[in-house]
Amino acid sequence: MRGRSIEVEGEAPFDIRKFGDPVLRTRAGEVDDIDGTLVRVVDDMLETMYAEPGLGLAAPQVGISKRLFVYDIGEGPHAIVNPEIVESDGEWAFEEGCLSVPGLSWEIIRPKEIHLIGYDLDGNEVSIEADELLSRCFQHELDHLDGKLLIDHLEGEIRKEAMRTVREIFLGGL
């Protein structure tokens, strides 16, 4: 995993990008190099996540289009680089919010259990079997890495109403 280093713009902690920002709708690129810059980015992302407060934060949410997210569901902070879900099972509905659409939440149905692989900040491969809240957190952050938002999981009239609401709030009614 060597190559170009992550480039950082602006100061940290970061501002959370909100609905309407194009970086949230762009598939993030692979992280090529785990280095000191990446570790500093992770530290700043964690500081930003805790300040909001959130359970997870994906790099695109702070304007970095790379496949990286941080999380803490109460067991301490972690970062996953180049994550991928390799297995999923079951179904679980849960009221879900997002730091990029603050103040709003919807019941989202996602797989209850997943198997996630990726890398830690030492470059070691990680393999995590997750269920319920941790599974949901991973899936939510991976959506951000793929340019998706939680409203993309809604259907029919609920989706139409959600889109109307977020456009009014974040785009001034466009």
Does a cis peptide bond (omega within 30 degrees of 0) precede residue 13? yes
Residue 155 is among the residues annotated as catalytic for this protein: no
Q: What gap in Å lies between CA 118 and CA 81, rounded to an integer? A: 6
Distances (CA, A) of 121 to 39, 126, 144: 7, 10, 20
* Pairing status of strand 125-131 against strand 92-97: unpaired
The residue written with tokens 């990008």 in the block is: 17
89 within 8 A of 112, measured Cβ to Cβ: yes
Residue of 11, 141, 155, 161 marked active site: 141
- As annotated, the active-site residues are 141
